[in-house]
Amino acid sequence: MPERREELIDRRTLEDAKSFRFSAAQEKQFEADTAAERCRMLFERGLLGLAFYVAYLGIDWLLTPDVIATAAILRVGFVVSLGLAVVLVVRSNPPVMVREGLMGLAVVLAGFVGLVVIAASQSALRDHQHTTYILLALYVVVVLQLRFPYALATCLALFGLEAMAIAVGPSVDLATAVTDLFTFVAVTVLCLVAANSFDRYMRAAYLLGRRQYQRSASLEDLSRHDPLTGLGNRRALEDALNALAEEPTDQPYAIVVADIDHFKSYNDQLGHQAGDICLKRIAGLLLAELRGDADRAIRYGGEEFVIFLPATDLATAQIIAERMRRNIADSRIPHPGRSTGVVTASFGVAAAPWGISADETIGAADAALYAAKNAGRNQVWPRLRQAADDTRHAASA
């Protein structure tokens, strides 16, 4: 059965997610799974922010008309041009530090332009430009939803710009200055608290989704494997044969059907628990002779197995089946009901070109298996020389 790519996510892991205690491996997986969607979202919301930023020129015209030309040059010529470059870089799925850091830096530069406009203007209404910083903080935390450390750093930078904007503005009384700063801090802190909760629960939701995916993948995997031997089951065989039918090829494929000789008497004398152990050992011996991931060993039912060998002719399949037969006999699993004293198996082999019905090929292999049993068991049928004769006869026909 395939290895699990990730560790099982338990309740403790979910609690760690709420406390930002992702392991390095979990953080790497989280970023790999969410980065593309995150970049797409930042790209779209970055463009939205730039559109509103340009529209803010209308506010500049109302509050600071004496520097409207300067505001237009700085906002459109500097910030918008730089912002477009930033969102294009972000769209290319850069590392998380580049992605989050560039978006935060672009917002800080937008806030710096607001400071320049306030400092350059002599308008009596320029004080009202301070609302820019609250809008930028809301944009960072609510719209962009920057990762919490980057959102915090960006909001601290905006607070510094807000304080400088108050300092360079027209003379205001202490109460007004304190009120403006408190309003900014209150709005920003409340937004950061919400951002903190959102980030934590987003990570928890991600882990819950991964756990559900793992459970679904595990159930899907179980539905294609025999729980006793770990081999594929009939559904896995159907999947392999369907895949073969969908990929035209000029190479033949082979089916080997194997059956443990006198297995009923083995169970009757030693019990079903011993029978299960025997089946597991036989399954391991069959797997040992497979050539790679494309070959499949299937528990077909009871003590019967099917081996699917793509890109394999009859003679090659015959050799593989013979090695399997010999491995089982040489393992000398005790069988008190046999004259030989050990467990053996009989094999039937059939090969067909692409396009021949899989059911027909399995039927031919099954018929060959019964021929092997009728010929005395513990053998492969058709025998290797006969298989070679059949192949030459088909080629000359």
Give the pLDDT confidence of 210-269 residue by residue, as tens digits.
Answer: 776 666 655 555 556 788 888 888 887 877 777 766 676 778 899 999 999 999 889 888
Q: What angle do CA 23, 21, 154 make, to 5 degrees?
A: 110
Structural domains for the chain: 11-218 (no CATH), 234-396 (3.30.70.270)
Is residue 4 very low, low, confident or very high in pLDDT (cuts 50, 70, 90)? very low
Q: What is the pLDDT of residue 391?
A: 45
For the chain, what percent of residues have pLDDT higher than 70? 86
Please tell me the total number of residues recorded for the chain in this structure: 397
**Beta-carbon neighbour count of residue 227 at 10 Å?**
8
Range with the lowest mean pLDDT among 138-142, 309-313, 356-360? 356-360
Q: What is the pLDDT of residue 291?
A: 87
Give the closest residue to 128 by CA, choosing from 90, 199, 176: 176
Give the closest residue to 155 by CA, choosing from 128, 183, 132, 189: 189
Average pLDDT rounded to a whole number, residues 129-148: 89
Q: What is the pLDDT of residue 261?
A: 92
Q: What is the pLDDT of residue 301?
A: 81
For the chain, what percent of residues have pLDDT higher than 90? 42
Q: What is the pLDDT of residue 397?
A: 38
Give the closest residue to 324 by CA, choosing from 300, 305, 351, 303: 305
pLDDT at 36 over 70: yes
Q: What is the pLDDT of residue 3?
A: 40
- Give residue for tokens 């179980």: 222
Q: What is the pLDDT of residue 5?
A: 42
Q: What is the pLDDT of residue 216?
A: 60
Catalytic positions are 303
Taking a C-beta distance cutoff of 8 angstroms, is the pair 282, 260 a contact? yes
Is residue 7 very low, low, confident or very high in pLDDT (cuts 50, 70, 90)? very low
